Amino acid sequence: MAFSADELRVLRRALAVALHPAPLQDEDVQDALLLAESVDEAVREAGRLRAFLLDDLARYREALPGSLSGYLELLQDALAAGYDPAADDLAALRALRRNPAAAALLARCQILAERSVRARLARVSQATATPVAATSAPRARLLALPGGRAAADEPKPTPPAPAERPVPKPSEVFPPRRRPVPPPPPEERVAG
């Protein structure tokens, strides 16, 4: 994002006020609001451009191998803009790795994809990890372990016998199916 000379002047005044609070003139407030709107519009436009670029990249990927040069060029542009290659991109590049440019781009994309996965895993593990020092309580001293020599000298208690339960018959578990009753025969009509 590039700022004009006027926008840089407004930004410099806003930073000076942030560092050394002083009352602002109405003109300075209006300039700062206009700059904020311009920055917001630039961010929205960048989002629209990114969405268009990704849609275009998907169209070129679906048209492979006929769109090889266009796809490679768009993918390089997307990577330069911060795009993390998707599994579809890696699969397409693997299929095209006979082309030297595609092979070089595949190597780059594999490194970027691996970094992206590692970063996501690190964020997830940081989000789910709890600080050990904050949650751990002081431990009690362990004096004896169950099952040691002393346990071998003592008689082992016999486990209680399981309650005897009669085993159900198959006919109790699966009752016999009843046959459907046939409908009564239709009455014969007498012609009169």
> What tens digit of pLDDT does each residue of 91-149 get?
999 988 899 999 999 999 999 999 988 998 888 888 877 555 555 555 555 454 455 55
Share of the chain above pLDDT 70, in %: 79
What was the pLDDT predicted at 124? 87
- Cis geometry, peptide bond prior to residue 65 (ω within 30 degrees of 0): yes
| pLDDT of res. 169 | 78
Residue-level pLDDT at 141: 56
**Predicted confidence (pLDDT) per residue in 40-65, tens digit:** 888 899 889 888 888 888 888 888 88
Measured CA to CA, the distance from residue 153 to residue 3 in angstroms comes to 85
For residue 94, give the nearest of 102, 82, 86 by alpha carbon.
Answer: 102
**Cut 0.75: pTM above it:** no
Q: Using one digit for the tens of pLDDT, what is the confidence trace for 141-181?
A: 545 445 555 555 566 667 666 667 777 777 777 767 777 77
Distance CA 96, CA 106 (A): 9
Higher pLDDT, 191 or 116: 116
The tally of CA atoms less than 13 A away on the side-chain side of residue 172 is 4
pLDDT of residue 107: 92
Nearest C-alpha neighbor of 67 from the set 75, 169, 8, 103:
75
Summary mean pLDDT of the chain: 79
pLDDT band for 13, please (50, 70, 90 cuts). Answer: confident
3 state DSSP class of 91 = helix
Q: How many helices (H) and strands (E) does the chain have?
A: 8, 0
Residue matched to tokens 């670029």:
53
